[in-house]
């Protein structure tokens, strides 16, 4: 069986989408742009920025109606909900161009959004109606060093793994192919190897960043150490990162396992997940997984899947012994390379509308199974939603993954103690815009209700991961208060004008 055959259990489904198109002359004339849902009035500030950008950068600026506009404002986004209609798109080719653009945007006082790999899934996090979209797709160069790689924010993780394969090395990034480097690295970064190397953010040794006033800064442990720390989980609150330097590790081969289970064995599957989260070894073998349960409200069929990866060649993979004991409908182990594995794990863009909701808890398998049962019953309540594609995803947080930040002399903004945790996430896909509010309300109420039961039982953690969160969630509430205060002070020091809160307001913002 090929890895791609397992795609049905992953949350992807094909739907068409209507590209928006509007005329270039509308923006240059400074009046209106038309969108699928109506007409947008371009503000004076946005007109000022788009005009100055095109005068300075010509070809790097794209207006509505021009050939590449749809590619940049629709095709580059994972969630159909994220498709919006900016007044102009700026596609910088150098960090200096980003710096020049920030000066223009700031002096015009224009609203803007920044996009890397376009996987963040809610409207406004990475795109904007009216305003300027800064699309980083052309900043896609890399340089491989002995034990680091410098990467531009226009790259996706597959491109990074492919660049490192000839050297037998791996970086700590996304588990699927086309997730972008910048968004994932700035919010944390769940990879298969977190248990040994920490999160993607813990593996960044240097950030080149353009601040809101257009100044370029390199933040490392030794220089701008406060900003260096804040960028480890601080998302898009500080500037536009134009280069990340990432640590790499010798991982010439990986052992992979693909397993699927029918519903009879869900209790054992969930129990094996909880046991895996609790493993706490001094020198762990790097190993981790993608764990998904899917349920079809029409056929009532449920199935669980494990996509596991561990470093080295060990058949069967030793770190998945608990899973290997469960009777599986399919079980395929293989020895391969990181880039060949991730090449098959595509997450195609523009497939559907998606709501993420999640909470975190201590790994208690009985309670997690009851969460699964409650979710399944709740899915039945919305089975009439067109194109419904419900999945429940589990992400483990192991003690050793958290110990990396505790011992590397830097830390990160999460400030989590090395204790096992389990993230339970509902990822719900659907087809029509008219169901947006309904699905969000359903997902939020269900999640908050189940979390409140965990709070009563003393099993709840208030940690929220930006990569698994819905727009109704505030990840900063789950960080230690002293870290949030420190993050605010650092924001004041580096962004006095509030460019990354007032003018770029989308995504997970620190608030005031």
Ligand X SMILES: Cc1cc2nc3c(=O)[nH]c(=O)nc-3n(C[C@H](O)[C@H](O)[C@H](O)COP(=O)(O)OP(=O)(O)OC[C@H]3O[C@@H](n4cnc5c(N)ncnc54)[C@H](O)[C@@H]3O)c2cc1C
User: At closest approach, how far in Å is the CB of 462 from ligand NAG?
Assistant: 31
| Candidate residues 22, 63, 74, 78; the one interacting with ligand X per rule CB under 6 A | 78
Q: Which residues contact 454 (CB under 8 A, 6 or more apart)?
A: 359, 361, 367, 460
**Contact (Cβ atoms closer than 8 angstroms) between residue 215 and residue 249:** no
How do strand 132-135 and strand 112-115 relate by DSSP bridges?
Answer: parallel
Q: Does 263 bind ligand NAG (CB under 6 A)?
A: yes
At 475, phi and psi to the nearest 5? Answer: -60, -30
- Figure out which of the listed residues 64, 92, 100, 117 binds ligand X, where binding follows CB under 6 A: 117
Are 42 and 32 in contact by the 8 Å Cβ rule? The answer is yes
- Letters for 435-474 (x = contact with ligand X by CB under 6 A, - = none) are --------------------------------x-------
Which residue of this chain has its Cβ atom nearest to ligand NAG in the complex? 336
Burial track 254-287 (b if 16+ CB lie within 10 A, e otherwise): bbbbbbbbebebbebbbbbbbbbbebeeeebbbb
Map residue 400 onto helix, strand or coil. Answer: helix
How many angstroms separate the CA atoms of 267 and 303, rounded? 12
126 is a contact residue toward ligand X (CB under 6 A) = yes
From the list ligand X, ligand NAG, none, partner contacted by residue 42 (C-beta under 5 to 8 A by kind): none
Question: By CB under 6 A, is residue 180 in contact with ligand X?
Answer: yes
Name residue 304's beta-bridge partners. Answer: 261, 293
For residue 244, the minimal CB distance to ligand X (Å) is 8
Among 73, 121, 259, 305, binds ligand X (CB under 6 A): 121
Give which of ligand X, ligand NAG, none residue 494 binds (C-beta under 5 to 8 Å, depending on kind).
ligand NAG
Residue 121, binding choice from ligand NAG, ligand X, none, Cβ under 5 to 8 Å by partner class: ligand X
Q: What is the DSSP letter of 329?
A: S
Minimal distance, residue 53 CB to ligand X, in Å: 18
Task: Spell out, one character per residue from 88 to 127, where the chain touches ligand NAG: x when CB under 6 A holds, - when not.
Answer: ---x------------------------------------
Identify which range of 63-71, 115-123, 163-171, 273-281 contacts ligand X by CB under 6 A. 115-123
DSSP 119-160: ---STTSS--SSSEEEE-TT---EEE-SSEEEE-TT-BHHHH
Could you please report the per-residue DSSP string of 244-263? EEEE-EE-S-EEEEEEEEEG
How far is 419 from 83, CA to CA, in rounded Å? 39
Residue of the chain from 46, 73, 90, 119 that contacts ligand X (CB under 6 A): 119
Contact between 179 and ligand X per CB under 6 A: yes
Residue 463 C-beta: closest distance to ligand NAG, Å: 29
**Residue 336 engages ligand NAG in binding (rule: CB under 6 A):** yes
SS3 178: coil
Q: Which of 494, 499, 504, 510 binds ligand NAG (CB under 6 A)?
A: 494
Cα distances (Å, whole numbers) of residue 190 to 62, 255, 391: 34, 18, 18
Task: Tell me the Cα Rg of the chain.
Answer: 22
Q: Does 115 bind ligand X (CB under 6 A)?
A: yes
Establish if 146 lies at the interface with ligand NAG (CB under 6 A): yes
DSSP, collapsed to helix, strand or coil, labels residue 22 as: coil
Residue 255: which of ligand NAG, ligand X, none does it interact with, CB under 5 to 8 A by kind? Answer: none
Range 282-301, binding ligand NAG (CB under 6 A) = 296, 298-299
Beta bridge partners of 90: 61, 134
Q: What is the DSSP letter of 328?
A: -
At 345, list the tokens. 């794990």
Rounded to a whole number of angstroms, the minimum distance from the CB of residue 215 to ligand NAG is 4
Within residues 212-251, the interface with ligand NAG by CB under 6 A covers 213, 215
Least distance to ligand X from the beta carbon of 23, Å?
A: 27
Contact partner at residue 177 from ligand X, ligand NAG, none, CB < 5 to 8 Å by partner kind: none
Separation between Cα atoms, residue 116 and residue 139, nearest integer Å:
9
- Virtual CA dihedral for 426, 5, 200, 286, nearest 10 degrees? 110
- Answer yes or no: are the C-beta atoms of 210 and 239 closer than 8 Å: yes
Q: Interface mask (CB under 6 A) for ligand X, residues 142-161, using x and -?
A: -----------x--------
The binder of ligand X chosen from 72, 236, 260, 305 (CB under 6 A): 236
| Site residues for ligand NAG per CB under 6 A | 3, 59-60, 62, 67-68, 91, 146, 211, 213, 215, 262-264, 296, 298-299, 327, 332, 334, 336, 340, 389, 493-494, 496
| Site residues for ligand X per CB under 6 A | 78, 113-121, 125-126, 136, 153, 174-176, 179-180, 182-184, 186-190, 236, 240-241, 347, 467, 507
């Amino acid at each position: 069986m090929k890895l791609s055959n397992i795609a049905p259990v992953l949350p992807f489904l094909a739907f068409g989408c209507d590209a928006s198109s509007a005329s270039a002359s509308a923006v240059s004339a400074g009046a209106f742009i038309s969108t699928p849902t109506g007409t947008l009035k371009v503000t004076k500030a946005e007109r000022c920025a788009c005009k100055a950008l095109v005068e300075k950068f010509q070809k790097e600026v794209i207006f509505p109606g021009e050939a590449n506009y749809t590619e940049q404002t629709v095709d580059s986004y994972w969630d159909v909900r994220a498709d919006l209609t900016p007044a102009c798109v700026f596609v910088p080719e150098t960090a200096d161009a980003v710096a020049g653009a920030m000066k223009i945007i700031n002096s015009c006082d224009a609203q803007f959004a920044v996009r890397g790999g376009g996987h963040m899934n809610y409207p406004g996090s990475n795109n904007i109606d009216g305003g300027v979209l800064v699309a980083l797709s052309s900043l896609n160069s890399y340089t491989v060093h002995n034990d680091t790689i410098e990467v531009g924010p226009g790259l996706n993780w597959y491109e990074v793994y492919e660049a490192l394969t000839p050297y037998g090395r791996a970086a700590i990034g996304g588990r699927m192919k086309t997730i972008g480097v910048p968004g994932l690295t700035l919010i944390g970064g769940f990879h298969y190897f977190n248990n040994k190397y920490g999160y993607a953010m813990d593996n960044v040794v240097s950030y080149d960043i353009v601040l809101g006033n257009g100044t370029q800064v390199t933040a490392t442990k030794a220089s701008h150490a406060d900003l260096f720390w804040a960028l480890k989980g601080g998302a898009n609150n500080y500037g536009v990162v134009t280069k990340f330097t990432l640590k790499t590790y010798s991982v010439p081969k990986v052992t992979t396992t693909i397993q699927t289970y029918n519903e009879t064995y869900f209790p054992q599957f969930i129990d094996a997940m909880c046991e895996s989260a609790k493993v706490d070894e001094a020198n762990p073998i790097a190993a981790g997984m993608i764990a998904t349960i899917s349920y079809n409200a029409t056929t009532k069929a449920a199935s669980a899947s494990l996509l596991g990866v561990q470093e080295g060649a060990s058949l069967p993979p030793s770190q998945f012994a608990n899973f290997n004991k469960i009777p599986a409908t399919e079980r395929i182990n293989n020895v391969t390379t990181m880039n060949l594995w991730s090449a098959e794990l595509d997450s195609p863009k523009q497939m559907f509308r998606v709501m993420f909701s999640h909470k975190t808890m201590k790994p208690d398998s009985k309670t997690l199974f009851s969460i699964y049962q409650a979710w399944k019953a709740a899915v039945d309540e919305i089975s009439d939603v067109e194109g419904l594609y419900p999945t429940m995803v589990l992400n483990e947080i192991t003690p050793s993954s958290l110990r990396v930040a505790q011992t590397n002399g830097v830390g990160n903004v999460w400030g989590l103690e090395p204790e096992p945790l389990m993230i339970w996430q509902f990822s719900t896909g659907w087809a029509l815009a008219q169901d947006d509010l309904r699905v969000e309300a359903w997902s939020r109420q269900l999640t908050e209700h189940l979390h409140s039961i965990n709070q009563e039982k003393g099993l709840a953690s208030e940690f929220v991961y930006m990569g698994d969160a819905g727009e109704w969630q505030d990840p900063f509430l789950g960080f230690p208060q002293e870290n949030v205060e420190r993050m605010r002070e650092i924001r004041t020091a580096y962004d006095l004008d509030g460019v990354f809160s007032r003018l770029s307001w989308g995504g997970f913002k620190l608030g005031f």
